[in-house]
């Protein structure tokens, strides 16, 4: 591993899936061992592992566990059981297309005559990890090159090693640009309600020696107005055929404020997050989580009894607000339907076909 890149959140060790429990960070470093595909699906749902590429990787390893289970239960007719388990894994979270992309890729490696499906799927899961790392490195180079004048950057949620195989997407660009001296200061929004920015991004940057300044999500427009932010750099859970971007709730507000204040808005996402089957962002299934996540803080109820809450955990940023979409296949400037089609035609970019089909 090189400088500024030491964290790996998903590991396959001694035939077990190990997940760094991101709910416990930064206070505790705790690993959760998943012994079944159902446990892997639950861990994804419960945010033990999160971030679009990382949940795809966890699901790819979950498929290995599913193959072992199906072979043990029905050695001669394991495929239908395995397909059921893949469906279950694919339903764990709806918005990040990487989850279904990874499972679909796994499914394609199999047919009823595959002699050792678990071994085949393990090799494919490892390939997904290796490709994700390579994509992140490439995006780091491409995104950093867009930062032609030194300045401050603002990021949202956590898009780093914790959210990927390693290095990160938006945070990978920030790592690369930091190493090249293109960034004067990294700002991170706290990212209510799960606080991925305050807990995870701040921890990850400090682990790797990059100073970080946190701000309340609502402080971002004021920071931009002060002129301190040259680029807003975020990741994506899904990018549609017209360049619309689904990402952590609050991303849309940052894009509006960036345009208002003349800051660049950069989205960094691997091809596995690009879904050319959906025409626009309104077609994306946006995950709405429990009201309780908003009504309480750290397990302590803060809202009065009787208050309800609306808790969508992603939003859509219209393509018109995006200055650059950085993928490992290249940069799409001011993405629109035409630019997306040109860049992703025939590249096998991620799509939304359900696992098992
Ligand atoms: O709910 P989360 O923490 O899984 O949301 C994560 C994000 O929104 C990230 O920005 C996105 O997945 C890109 S991660 C490289």
Q: Is residue 1 over pLDDT 90? A: no
CB of 196 within 6 A of ligand 1: the answer is yes
Q: Between the CA of residue 224 and those of 76, 238, 263, what are the distances in Å? A: 61, 26, 7
Tell me if 115 is assigned to some domain: yes
Instruction: Express each pLDDT in 240-267 by its tens digit.
Output: 999 999 999 999 999 999 999 999 999 9
Annotated active-site residue in 5, 208, 237, 323: 237
Q: Is the dihedral of CA 340, 341, 347, 353 positive or negative?
A: positive
User: Does the residue 116 lie in any domain?
Assistant: yes
Q: Is the CB of 139 under 6 A from ligand 1?
A: no
* Residue 22 Cα: closest atom of ligand 1: 3
Domain boundary pick from 133, 161, 178: 133
237 is catalytic: yes
CA 23 – ligand 1 centroid, Å: 14
Q: Decide whether any atom of ligand 1 lies within 6 Å of the 157 Cβ.
A: yes
* Residue 218 token pair: 């609502």
* All residues at 6 or more sequence positions from 46 whose CB lies less than 8 Å from its CB, including other chains: 23
Residues of the chain with pLDDT > 90, as a percent, come to 92
How far from the centroid of its chain's Cα atoms is residue 205's Cα? 17
Tell me the pTM: 0.95
Task: Specify the CATH number for the domain of residue 329.
Answer: 3.40.50.10470
Does 151 share its domain with 245? yes
How large is the C-alpha radius of gyration of the chain?
20
State in Å: Cα 94 to ligand 1 middle.
12
Note the pLDDT of residue 352.
Answer: 41
Residue 114 is assigned to a structural domain of this protein: yes
- Same domain, yes or no, for 187 and 269? yes
pLDDT, tens digit, for every residue of 17-26?
999 999 999 9
Which among 323, 251, 240 has a CA at the least distance from the CA of 280? Answer: 240
- Residues 17 and 63 reside in one and the same domain: yes
HEC string of the chain equals CCCCCCCCCEEEECCEEEEECCCCCCCCCCEEEECCHHHHHHHHHCCCCCCHHHHHHHHHHHHHHHHHHHHHHCCCCCHHHHHHHHHHHHCCCCCCHHHHHHHHHHHHCCCCCCCCHHHHHHHHHHHHHHHHHHHHHHHHHHHHHCCCCCEEEEECCCCCHHHCCCCCCHHHHHHHHHHCCCEEEEEEECCCCCCHHHHHHHHHHHHCCCCCEEECHHHHHHHHHCCCCCEEEECCCEEECCCCEEEECCHHHHHHHHHHHCCEEEEECCHHHEECCCCCHHHCCCCECCCHHHHEECCEECCCCCCCCCCECEEEECHHHCCEEEECCEEEECCCHHHHHHHHCCCCCCCCCCCCC
Query: What is the whole-number distance in angstroms between the Cα of residue 269 and the centre of ligand 1?
Result: 11
Q: Which of the four pLDDT bands, split at 50, 70 and 90, describes residue 354?
A: very low
Going by CA atoms, what residue is nearest to atom 5 of ligand 1? 51
Kindly state whether residues 37 and 121 are assigned to the same domain. Answer: yes
Give the Cα separation of 134 and 303 in Å (integer): 44
pLDDT band at residue 299 under the 50/70/90 scheme: confident
Query: How many CB atoms sit inside 10 A of residue 300's CB?
Result: 6
Whether 321 is covered by a domain: the verdict is yes
* Residue-range definition of the domain harbouring residue 336: 140-343
Is residue 348 assigned to a domain?
no
Residues 127 and 183 in one domain: no
Q: How far, in Å, from the CA of 109 to the mean position of ligand 1?
A: 27
């Amino acid at each position: 591993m090189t400088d500024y890149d030491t964290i790996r959140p998903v590991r396959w060790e001694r035939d077990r899936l190990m997940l760094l429990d991101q709910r416990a960070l930064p206070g505790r470093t705790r690993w959760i061992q998943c012994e079944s595909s159902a446990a892997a699906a639950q861990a994804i749902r419960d945010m033990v592992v999160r971030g679009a590429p990382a949940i795809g990787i966890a699901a790819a390893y979950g498929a290995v566990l599913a193959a072992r289970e199906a072979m043990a239960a029905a050695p001669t007719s394991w495929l239908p059981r395995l397909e059921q388990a893949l469906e279950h894994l694919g339903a764990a979270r709806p918005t990040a297309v990487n989850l279904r992309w990874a499972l679909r890729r796994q499914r394609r490696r199999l047919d009823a005559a595959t002699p050792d499906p678990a071994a085949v799927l393990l090799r494919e899961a490892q390939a997904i990890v290796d490709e994700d790392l390579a994509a992140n490195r490439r995006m780091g180079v491409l995104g950093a090159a867009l930062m032609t004048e030194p300045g401050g950057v603002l990021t949202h949620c956590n898009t780093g090693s914790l959210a990927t195989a390693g290095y990160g997407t938006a945070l990978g660009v920030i790592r690369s640009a930091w190493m090249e001296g293109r960034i004067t200061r990294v700002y991170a929004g706290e990212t209510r309600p799960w606080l991925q920015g305050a807990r995870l991004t701040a921890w990850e940057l400090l682990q790797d020696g990059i100073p970080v300044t946190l701000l309340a999500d609502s402080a971002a427009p004021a920071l931009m107005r002060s002129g301190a932010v040259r680029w807003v750099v975020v990741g994506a859970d899904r990018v549609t055929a017209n360049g619309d971007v689904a990402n952590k709730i609050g991303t849309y507000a940052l894009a509006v404020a960036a345009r208002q204040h003349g800051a660049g808005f950069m989205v960094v996402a691997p091809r596995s997050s690009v879904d050319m089957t959906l025409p626009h962002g309104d077609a994306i299934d946006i995950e709405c989580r429990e009201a309780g996540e908003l009504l309480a803080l750290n397990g302590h109820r803060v809202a009065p009894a009787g208050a309800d809450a609306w808790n969508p955990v992603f939003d859509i940023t219209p393509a018109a607000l995006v200055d650059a979409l950085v993928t490992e296949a290249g940069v799409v400037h001011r993405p629109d339907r035409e630019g997306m089609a040109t860049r992703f035609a025939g590249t096998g970019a991620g799509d939304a076909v359900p696992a098992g089909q």
